Structure 1
Amino acid sequence: VFAQQDSINFIHAIPVDIQSNSIIVEWQTPEEVLSGVYYTMEGKNSSNFMVASAPVRNHTYHIPAFYPSQLIYVLPFQFIGSDTLWGDTLVLMSRSASSGKIRVYFTRPVDPNVATGPQAIYLPGTAADTVIKLIHQAKKSIDLAIYNMNIDGIAYALNQAKERGVRVRVIYDGSTTNSSIYVLQGVPMLASPTSSSYGIMHNKFMVIDCDTDNPNDAILFTGSMNFTSTQVTEDANNILIIQDKSLALAYRIEFEEMWGGSGSQPNSSASRFGPYKKNNTPHYFNVGGIPIESWFSPSDGVNSKIIAAINSSNTSLFIPTNLITRDDLANAIAKRRQNEVLCRVVVDNDASCSDQVVAILTEALGTNFRETTESGILHHKVLIADALQTDSNPVVLTGSHNWSNNAETRNDENTLILYDADIANLYYQEFSQRFKQSRAIAPNPVLDLGPDISVCAGQKVLLDAGTGFSSYSWSNGSTASQIIVDTSGIGLGNITISCTVNNVYGTQTDQITITFFACTGIEDNYTKNHLLIYPNPCREFFRIQLPPDAKPQFIEIYNIQGQMVMQQTTRLVGNSLEINVSELNPGIYIVRVLAGNKVYVVRLLKQ
């Protein structure tokens, strides 16, 4: 609408109040400057402008609207010396005359115990009936953009709408089966392009009757649910049905950008998908008094909006989302936790997240980073900020946009951000139940028995597989987490011991070879029996265990050159003693214990 000028663009103007007869636009500057705005109305070729009477830092402009749901284009500018600096063109829409009623539904059970207002509604396998009912109510138009559809009942309802004179237009993903698309009869359809430069058409929205005279006919249906049987009956999804003409018209603009125009038939030569789309829709709405933001991918930079929503959390941040593969999102969550925000994240499974994201969130959130244990898929793409503190402007972000690179840069996606405490609590009721039906994400089992070692004959070696596994299976038949190996039944020579561990994430096996040999040179008069040190190998500490009647007087540690590197006079507590060797370099050492008239000698590996 307005041509951008060849100058630096740094003006961040936003609408702060949207009414049916006016929109207030504001921005700030670090210094006092003279500013103004150009604005024009939909369908008007001429533009109007306003210029401030004096330089200011806080710039406020009241843009008139002549009727509800009017599309208005605003271009802010400011003067710096002899230069004119231009902002981005704002695409705005005045408040509609619709009721603004918002209905929220979920396809899995919710937790009513955390409700602070209305109880969240669970649709037990009946979400498709809700869709069909909306289609049956349509009077003039239905625009459907859906990633996947295999519920024939929805296709039959669309056919019936077409037969009674409703204009029906359907866009679907060209790379997905979409079996119910072939049930449609005489309905104009457009498959998204599938060449390598495009991603998937992943939208899930339906616009109904945004073009009738009655503003309450206009309906936007959106959320995370595809029109498939498993999405309706098994998977965890959320649905929004919003009665608002302005928001519905914005979604129609997005639809017609992909459709290639406003006609009944698609125009593939003019249509734009994926990275070729433009940022050309209104983003800010007043829906029945509730501020709502609308963003589309990949044109609108939705990832930055997700980060902004994360950063807005002051007390709590709850995220049920199918996957996270972007490090910047994980880092943003981790920083909120560092700022003492309660953060809980549930994904479908850890394998759907990148390794780096798993590492970041496991370290930052501990057991509050979880994966679902329920059947079906956790298919949400939801963020709930400050649901537990209603005076902190609670936020809900939802839509089709997975938290991935493809969603940000290639896929066609839709996202809504709603600022309302009651809606936040509805989503929190659903999240609470998903959190209960989840388990903490831990790394796949990691077993390390240490390097192969050589020890003196008669020495006992403690092998420790570690804790946190559900089962242990040693090659000697033991099922304990630790075993003791000595020369009993073995004699001098080598023995290889293996262990297999399991947990809910998988299985791992490791082995170690122990060489027993006759020790000579440092101490010939040593006692071969009844001395145990563990763990061996060790890192910072090891413990010595002696027979109950042993009374050690001192402990000496020698390197393999025979030089004493540590001596300690000690009293035994019970019959065991812990020794700190954190300052010793890694290597092989000989531990010599003098106890009465006996000398105990053990070889130690320091890692």
Structure 2
Amino acid sequence: MVRTTLRRAAVALAACATALTFTTPAHAAGTYSAFAFSLGSSEPTIYDFINSSTRTLDMTMYELSDSTAVSDLVAAESRGVQVRVILDGTKTSVNDSAYNTLSNAGVGVVWSFSQYVYTHQKTITVDGAESLVLTGNLTAKYYPTSRDYGVFDNDANDVATIEQVFDADYNGTSITPGDGDNLLWSPTDSRSRLLSVINSATSTLDVEEEELGDSAVVDAIAAQAQAGVAVRVVVEHPSSYASQVAQIKNAGGTVVGYSSSTGYYIHAKAVVADYGLPSAQVELGSVNVSTNSFDNNRELGIILTDTGVESVVENGFNSDYSGGTPA
């Protein structure tokens, strides 16, 4: 028991030190940097981004329950920034306070488009020039115990696409999103785009997911293990996905898990293929490995190749894999 407690403490300490950033090589269309959530009581990296806005700020957020972030949004509006926010309309118990505070301050805030079961996307775009794509919500009570990542993206095609989709969702109009240079969306192409990353792996495949329920994705992970790719999976509540875990293990992969009862929660949604190779790819965003997430929600993720972002995710993954319980 003492050994387990110490191991989990080490995981948490290692994760606190992962606010690292890497800039992409010159061949890419934009620059990209990543960070892991700090496992503290606040997320200064996100606040700094909000506070950097000078003209516009557009936010889509499944859950917004962070008084600092809300205050920063109000302050941005007060200094002349046009702030617009979409909050998921099914999470009123979580989002009501932020919605009312923003609305009373003159911020343009709306409930999500009813076309989607959940607007689960977590994105902030500043000045129409840079977007922050997150796996985590702005829910302060979960910061100290949740594994999550974020990627800054200033690729012009990505940002323009994110803004086009924001405008449509903010106004409650239908749109079929483009992918820019690096994006994947639900409910359109997120499954096929994620499968392209999984199927690209030739050497290693590391998967860190809160949910593991979609059969097409699990089949692809197992197929890679069967083909000799070194597959490692970290999942929250593996007992909820017993058949999927067994399928991956029987194919030759390894799976470790966490439970919220331990105080450490795998909320991330991320995949790294062929880490350390020039062809290395990373996918992360709001998209869970679930049928609902792929087919019915508004979700956004990003896929990057050989940018350095994969190092941030891989470092977090290795810490979590080492600290997890074999499933």
TM over 0.5: yes
Q: Which residue of 2 aligns with 1:152?
A: 67
2:152 equivalent to 1:241: yes
In structure 2, C-alpha distance between the alignment counterparts of 1:417 and 1:409, rounded to whole Å: 19
Is 1:345 aligned with 2:275?
A: no
Match of 1:180 among 98, 104, 123: 98
The CA deviation string for residues 312-358 of structure 1, in whole angstroms up to 9 with x for no partner, is 000000001111111111111111111110000010111443x4323
Identity of aligned residues (%): 23
Query: Pick from 176, 198, 208: which aligns with 1:279?
Result: 176
Q: 1:231 to 1:102 in 2, by over 3 A?
A: farther
Structure 2 Cα separation of the partners of residues 408 and 422 of structure 1: 27
Quick one: distance in 2 between partners of 1:248 and 1:172? 20
Say yes or no: does 1:102 pair with 2:32.
Answer: yes
Superposition map of 1:458-497 within 5 A: none
User: Which residue type is aligned with residue 275 of structure 2?
Assistant: A
Structure 1 residues 192, 379: CA separation in 2 closer, same or farther (over 3 Å shift)?
same
Q: Say yes or no: does 1:396 pair with 2:316.
A: no
Partners of 2:39 and 2:146 within 8 A in 1: no
Selected match of 1:138 from 53, 75, 84: 53
Would the aligned equivalents of 2:187 and 2:296 in 1 still touch at CA under 8 Å? Answer: yes
- 1:357 corresponding residue in structure 2: 244
**CA 1:142–1:322: 2 relative to 1, 3 Å:** same
TM-score normalised according to structure 2 size: 0.84
Please say if 1:438 is aligned against 2:327. no
Letter in 2 for 1:347: V
**1:316 pairs with 2:204:** yes
Q: What is aligned with 2:298?
A: 412
Matched, 1:199 2:141: no
Instruction: Give, in angstroms, the shift of residue 379 of structure 1.
Output: 0.8
Q: Secondary structure at the match of 1:202?
A: coil
Distance 1:158 1:421 in 2: 30
Q: Which of residues 153, 168, 171 in structure 2 aligns to 1:257?
A: 168
From the superposition, tell whether residues 138 and 412 of structure 1 become closer, same or farther in structure 2 (CA, over 3 Å): same
1:164 is aligned to 79
Moved more, 179-188 or 137-146: 179-188
Provide the aligned length of Structure 1 versus Structure 2.
295
Q: Which has the higher contact order (CA 8 A, sep 6+)?
A: 2
Q: 1:228 aligns with which of 108, 118, 139?
A: 139
Kept in 2: contact 1:204–1:226 (CA 8 A) = yes
Q: Matched residue of 1:251: which SS?
A: helix
Tell me how far 1:193 sits from its aligned partner: 4.5
Q: How does 1:567-578 map to 2 (within 5 A)?
A: none
User: 8 Å contact 2:207–2:233 — kept in the other structure?
Assistant: yes
Offset from partner CA, 1:365-408 (integer Å, 9 cap, x none)? 46x112126523201110000004x14x0000100000111111
Task: Report deviation, 1:180.
Answer: 2.3
Pairwise mapping of residues 295-334 of structure 1 onto structure 2 (< 5 A)?
Answer: 295-299=184-188, 301-334=189-222
Q: What is the deviation of 1:425?
A: 2.4
Q: How far off its partner does 1:102 sit? A: 2.0
Is the 1:324–1:357 Cα contact (8 Å) retained in structure 2? yes
Aligned residue type for 1:335? A
Deviation at 1:255, TM superposition (A): 0.4
3-state secondary structure, aligned to 2:44: helix
Would the aligned equivalents of 1:344 and 1:365 in 2 still touch at CA under 8 Å? no
Give the Cα–Cα distance (whole angstroms) in 2 for the partners of residues 142 and 231 of structure 1: 24
Aligned ranges for residues 21-40 of structure 1 at < 5 Å? none
Task: Determine helix, strand or coil for the equivalent of 1:382.
Answer: strand
List runs of 5+ in structure 1 lacking aligned partners. 1-18, 20-94, 108-122, 211-217, 261-270, 286-292, 442-607
Q: Is there any run of 5+ residues in structure 2 with no aligned partner, and where?
A: 1-25
